[in-house]
Amino acid sequence: MSAPTAAPAAAPGGRRREKIDELAARAGALSAGAGGESLFRSAVRRLRRDPVAIIGAVIVVVFLVVAILAPFLAPRDPYAQTLLSEVRQGSIPGAREGFPLGVDQLGRDVLSRLIVGSRQSLVIGVVSTVLGAAVGMVLGILAGGLGGRVDTIVMRFVDILLSIPGLLMAISVSVLLGANQLSLMIAIAVTQVPVFARLLRGSMLVQRDSDYALAARALGVKRRKIVLGHVLPNSLSPVIVQATLSLATAIIEAAALSFLGLGDPDISRPEWGAMLASAQSVLSVRPELAVYPALCIIVVALGFTLLGESLREALDPKFRR
Amino acid sequence: MSGVQVPQTPVLEVEDLRVRFQRRGEPATLAVDGVSFAVAPGETVGLVGESGCGKSVTSLATMGLLPKRGVQVSGSVRLDGQELLGAGDRTLRRLRGKDMAMVFQDPLSSLNPTVTIGVQVTEVLAAHRGMKGDAARTEAVDLLDRVGIPDPRRRLGEYPHQLSGGMRQRALIAMALACSPRLLIADEPTTALDVTIQAQILELLRDLVQGSGTALVMITHDLGVVAGLCDRVHVMYAGRIIETAERRDLFARPRHPYTGGLLHSVPRLDSGRGTPLTPIRGSARDTIPWAQGCAFAPRCDVAEDDCLVEVSGSEVELVPDGGTRELRCRHPLTPATQTAGAPS
């Protein structure tokens, strides 16, 4: 803590002392430079050492880049029925020069449709997860922060939502709201709400009993400030992890809903789930047409899941290896 | 600052405090069972006892920090004459941090890990002194400087895990003293710290608290802390005070066998290698309800049958024991047994 205040020694000892002081100063400078690191930075450091996290991150980054740059990356117009003349009953032309993955039964380039279709998955995944997380978190804060009767009412409501199977709920909501892009996102968001609400409430309840919350109370800090300023920030890391994992589920659910015809009413628009659905009718002729979009869905969902799982490990001190 | 009592109106008066924990389907536990004590301005009072003797519950009850559900608190707690038991949440919140403050055992877990020290210190200033922005920051730097944190300006931007244990406790003390409270309760503030840091923290508390006339309640199981800091000591056992004395009297002439046992169980440097330690027999769980007799009797070496209510016909009361002392024992230690070492 305080610097040693030893009196300067006699001549021979004095030199030795100088050396020690110099070493001490150097060590001090070193440790000051390294400093401590924030929780977030140490999590990032652990993530970078985790091969699973790197695989997940690479998949996610490739997916993001493809989705954002889709119009420039797609080799052809995804709507143009270029090879329609060669499509016959029971025969669809396969891969060839200029069409690396072949064409679908309407003669459209599959690769271009997959690339452009990634945008739909990204938009639906992100918007519905953000929406679901936002509403779920508000409910979670109400329940976990106020407690008592509010907690009971909110959690029973959440229990009701949870008791309905996710896909069934999503189908009901999107049927109720009509088949379009927005209702699809709302439908998926509704299935995410209870998960986020429960998670945040549970983790806030734990933090509310923590020593620092008690210490803040002992200092006369207002309850609202304790809940929002102390309890909430410490309860967020499971929510962040869940959001990453939810993105994967949302992408799968979006595909499932548009497979069932509850997605975008414009069926010519490229979308992985819809591509899967339309490939169904020509499964015996060209099974690849179903395999490609399915693979895309699986790989992207896997990427988010891997990233989410390793994020959980990186953020949770109990998982530290 | 000496042990000499000057009659003053006490800052804190606790009278017949009882705290009962009631859990569904379980018999109620009386964690604090009729505790009374007072603390004068500038005085340091120690509450000493083993884990589970009720000393921490006493402090939480004083601050009004016990949960409401399943807890019954009765008696009286007055801060500068103002009754705290039964006071509203808002009243209590305004008093906490301003007129009474508390320092806890574990400085790491008592600080929010996700928020910088600066935010946590200025929060108290905002809550009670209405300070914001630059004014609050300047005051925070000043506070950290006063508790001996080097380079306080830089520390304000750091997170709790970037500080050493001693510095964290200093920061917490700075927060507790931000509004110059009338009463400071320190609940084992040095337990989680290194021995060298312990001494620094105790010295800091002594300088800051006693210089400003703040009343300090020191909750500890460490008799070294008591010896270094307290004017007056209350020894607690099973929810009750069993002996009260000035610090010097207590160390020189422990009267209750439990106090004597505590003093003798401290390992000594001069007792020679191989000398066995002298713990108190049994554990705090080997107890009987006060209604049936002295709770310490099962572990006591000098207990006799009249320590039990069924023999003597009355509970063992806390009675004056000469001077300012009080004692709850029928067979107190005598000068012979006090010096002869642990009663064997």
**Beta-carbon separation of B112 and A218 below 8 A:** no
Residue A138 has pLDDT above 90, yes or no: yes
Measure the CA–CA gap between B278 and B301, rounded to whole angstroms. Answer: 13
- pLDDT at residue number A16: 62
| CB pairs < 8 Å spanning A and B | 86
Q: How confident is the model at residue B343 (pLDDT cuts 50, 70, 90)?
A: very low
What tokens does B77 get?
A: 């707690």
Chain A positions in Cβ-Cβ contact with residue B109 (cut-off 8 Å): 210-212
Measure the CA–CA gap between B67 and B234, rounded to whole angstroms. Answer: 25
Alpha helices in chain B (DSSP H): 55-63, 89-95, 117-129, 133-146, 152-156, 165-176, 195-205, 211-212, 223-229, 247-252, 257-265, 309-312, 335-339
Containing A217, the helix (H) or strand (E) segment is helix A211-218
- Give 3-state DSSP helix, strand, coil % of chain B, rounded to 5: 35, 20, 45
What confidence tens digit (pLDDT) does each residue in B20-30 have? Answer: 998 888 888 88
- pLDDT at residue number A19: 67
**In whole numbers, what is the pLDDT of chain B averaged over residues?**
87
Query: Nearest CA to CA, how far is B315 from chain A (Å)?
Result: 36
Calculate mean pLDDT across residues B9-26.
90
Asked if A88 contacts A72 with a C-beta cutoff of 8 angstroms, the reply is: no
Helix axes A272-279, A288-315, angle to 10 degrees: 150
Residue A97 has pLDDT above 80, yes or no: no
More confident residue, B2 or A246: A246
- pLDDT at residue number A1: 41
Of the candidates A309, A184, A171, the one whose C-alpha atom is nearest the C-alpha of residue A240 is A309
**Beta-carbon separation of B112 and A230 below 8 A:** yes
- pLDDT at residue number A156: 94
The length of chain A in residues reads 321
Chain A positions in Cβ-Cβ contact with residue B148 (cut-off 8 Å): 1
What tokens does B312 get?
A: 């003597």
What is the secondary structure of A58-73 as a DSSP string?
Answer: HHHHHHHHHHHTHHHH
A39, closest residue in chain B (CA to CA): B114
Calculate mean pLDDT across residues B318-337.
88
Q: How confident is the model at residue B239 (pLDDT cuts 50, 70, 90)?
A: very high
CB under 8 Å to A189, separation ≥6 — which residues? A127, A128, A129, A131, A132, A135
Measure the CA–CA gap between A31 and A259, rounded to whole angstroms. Answer: 58
Query: Nearest CA to CA, how far is A118 from chain B (Å)?
Result: 36
Asked if B260 contacts B279 with a C-beta cutoff of 8 angstroms, the reply is: no
Q: Which of B96, B112, B114 sits opposite A220 (nearest CB)?
A: B96
Q: Percentage of chain B surpassing pLDDT 70? A: 95
**In whole numbers, what is the pLDDT of chain A averaged over residues?**
82
Measure the CA–CA gap between A234 and A237, rounded to whole angstroms. Answer: 7
Residue A51 has pLDDT above 50, yes or no: yes
Residue A184 has pLDDT above 50, yes or no: yes
Chain A positions in Cβ-Cβ contact with residue B172 (cut-off 8 Å): 215
Q: Does the reported pTM lie above 0.80?
A: no
Measure the CA–CA gap between B101 and B178, rounded to whole angstroms. Answer: 9
Measure the CA–CA gap between B293 and B307, rounded to whole angstroms. Answer: 6
Interface test with A, best of B59, B95, B123, B158 (most A CBs within 10 A): B123
Chain A positions in Cβ-Cβ contact with residue B178 (cut-off 8 Å): 219
Measure the CA–CA gap between B11 and B74, rounded to whole angstroms. Answer: 20
Measure the CA–CA gap between A303 and A64, rounded to whole angstroms. Answer: 11
CB under 8 Å to A165, separation ≥6 — which residues? none
ipTM score assigned to the predicted complex? 0.83
What tokens does B172 get?
A: 């917490």
Q: Which of A39, A220, A230 sits opposite B128 (nearest CB)?
A: A220
Asked if B124 contacts A219 with a C-beta cutoff of 8 angstroms, the reply is: yes
Query: Nearest CA to CA, how far is B36 from chain A (Å)?
Result: 22
Interface test with B, best of A38, A204, A211, A219 (most B CBs within 10 A): A219
Calculate mean pLDDT across residues B182-211.
86
B105, closest residue in chain A (CA to CA): A211
- pLDDT at residue number B255: 92
Chain-centroid distance of CA B258 in Å reads 18
Of the candidates A177, A186, A165, A174, the one whose C-alpha atom is nearest the C-alpha of residue A260 is A174
Measure the CA–CA gap between B89 and B82, rounded to whole angstroms. Answer: 14
Q: Percentage of chain A surpassing pLDDT 70? A: 86
- pLDDT at residue number A319: 47
Residue A321 has pLDDT above 80, yes or no: no
Q: Which of B110, B124, B161 sits opposite A212 (nearest CB)?
A: B110
What tokens does B313 get?
A: 């016909």
Strand bridging mode B71-79 / B12-21? antiparallel
Calculate mean pLDDT across residues B132-149.
91
Residue B244 has pLDDT above 50, yes or no: yes
**Beta-carbon separation of A220 and B113 below 8 A:** no
Residue B195 has pLDDT above 80, yes or no: yes
Residue A84 has pLDDT above 80, yes or no: no
Residues of B in CB contact (< 8 Å) with A are 63, 65, 93-98, 101-102, 104, 106, 109-115, 119, 123-124, 127-128, 148, 150, 158-159, 161-162, 164, 166-167, 172, 175-176, 178, 197, 200
Q: How far apart are the first and last CA of chain A?
A: 32
Containing B79, the helix (H) or strand (E) segment is strand B71-79
Measure the CA–CA gap between B132 and A91, rounded to whole angstroms. Answer: 76
Asked if B58 contacts B17 with a C-beta cutoff of 8 angstroms, the reply is: yes
Residue carrying structure tokens 């010896």? B227
Q: Which of A39, A218, A221 sits opposite B114 (nearest CB)?
A: A39
What 3-state DSSP class applies to A2?
A: coil
What confidence tens digit (pLDDT) does each residue in B32-74 have? Answer: 999 999 999 989 999 998 888 889 999 999 999 998 888 999 9
More confident residue, A228 or A19: A228
What is the secondary structure of A251-315 as a DSSP string?
Answer: HHHHHHHHHTT-S-S-TTS--HHHHHHHHGGGTTT-THHHHHHHHHHHHHHHHHHHHHHHHHHHH
Q: What is the 3-class SS of A85-114, one letter each residue?
A: HHCECCECCCCECCECCCECCCCCEHHHHH
Q: How confident is the model at residue A15 (pLDDT cuts 50, 70, 90)?
A: low
What confidence tens digit (pLDDT) does each residue in A239-263 have? Answer: 988 898 898 888 888 888 888 888 7
Strand partners, B19: B32, B73
CB under 8 Å to B137, separation ≥6 — which residues? B118, B122, B156
**Beta-carbon separation of B175 and A219 below 8 A:** yes
Calculate mean pLDDT across residues A143-163.
90
Strand partners, B220: B48
CB under 8 Å to B342, separation ≥6 — which residues? B260, B261, B264, B265, B278
Calculate mean pLDDT across residues B255-284.
81
Calculate mean pLDDT across residues B316-337.
88
Asked if A175 contacts A185 with a C-beta cutoff of 8 angstroms, the reply is: no
Strand bridging mode B215-220 / B44-48? parallel
CB under 8 Å to B101, separation ≥6 — which residues? A218, A219, B175, B176, B177, B179, B181, B183, B184, B185
